[in-house]
Amino acid sequence: MVNTRQVTNRRPLRFANFGAVVRDAESLAGAERRGTLRAMGNWTLGQAIGHLAYWARAPLVGYPELPRPPWLLRVMMPLLKNGFLNKRLPAGVRIRGVADGTLGTEKMATDRALGELRAALDRWANETPSRPNPILGTLTHGEWIKLNLRHAELHLSFFHPG
């Protein structure tokens, strides 16, 4: 297992919109088909893209039952919200009490994951979440979009097209 907190050769990414996320994921999928994709973390490309789709859907369809975060995290996270929305998300963060540290990491074919990501991100054009984020609390539609963009930057940065 790679300690993803210590990976130093990740791609620097900054997505301005969901179209850029999809284009980058498609480019990585093309590299995977050509056999030139290099993964720097622990997941396959299909897992990473499927994970992004899972968490892009969750605010719109509902979160699974998650353990209540520790009180200090509940107090601190809203204060750190601006950094999470506008800077890089930290690698290697795990949800306490959740097997594998997060959800939506099932292995799946990259093309299937791409389809799920496109469908999930397309929903954001017409839907606004009515549920608060389990860590950051209530977010505006624009803040939700930024959070999804930063999340995509984090996970796709572990893949180099070669």
pLDDT of residue 79: 86
User: At a CB cut-off of 8 Å and minimum separation 6, what does 109 contact?
Assistant: 46
Angle at 115 between CA 109 and CA 119, to 5 degrees: 145
Please give the domain boundaries of the chain with CATH numbers for all domains: 13-160 (1.20.120)
Say how far apart CA 81 and CA 139 lie, in whole Å: 9
Quick: pLDDT tens for 29-54: 999 999 999 999 999 999 999 999 99
Burial string for 3-14 (b: 16+ CB within 10 Å, else e) reads ebeeeeebeebe
pLDDT of residue 103: 72
110 pLDDT tier (thresholds 50, 70, 90): very high
Quick: pLDDT tens for 112-149: 999 999 999 999 999 999 888 888 888 999 999 999 99
Judged against a pLDDT cut of 90, whether residue 70 lies above it is answered with no
